[in-house]
Amino acid sequence: AQRVTQPEKLLSVFKGAPVELKCNYSYSGSPELFWYVQYSRQRLQLLLRHISRESIKGFTADLNKGETSFHLKKPFAQEEDSAMYYCALRLMSNYKLTFGKGTLLTVNP
């Protein structure tokens, strides 16, 4: 069965510092990977998808199939980036997401 692991429950950085939220997955096939974000008092929302190879709010994530990782990175963290971040995996054969347990990012002033 597929699995998504986010090793850090909490991550704290200072404003302007680089940030990397780790995500590892276990699945032998070719999954689709996502990052979802939940800001305080807001609903869970899509941040980015690996297929789009896009940068959203300065965040990027590269799928590394060799290391089965999909780490989320931003070179200069902002206070408004403080939120709960979830990595998620979808098998191409179905329409469900398997989520990691999430990482709470706090960006200090």
- Interface residues with another protein (CB under 8 A) are 32, 34, 36, 43-46, 49, 86, 90, 94-102
Cβ neighbours of 36 (radius 10 Å): 19
Cβ closest to another protein, residue 30 vs residue 94:
94
Q: How far is the CB of 57 from another protein (least distance, A)?
A: 16
Cβ closest to another protein, residue 45 vs residue 108:
45
Token readout for 16 is 């302007």
Q: How far is the CB of 7 from another protein (least distance, A)?
A: 14
Cβ closest to another protein, residue 36 vs residue 77:
36
Q: How far is the CB of 93 from another protein (least distance, A)?
A: 10
Under DSSP, the state recorded for 79 is: G
- Residues in the chain, overall count: 109
Residue 16 CA to residue 14 CA, distance in Å, equals 6
Residue 97 CA to residue 70 CA, distance in Å, equals 15
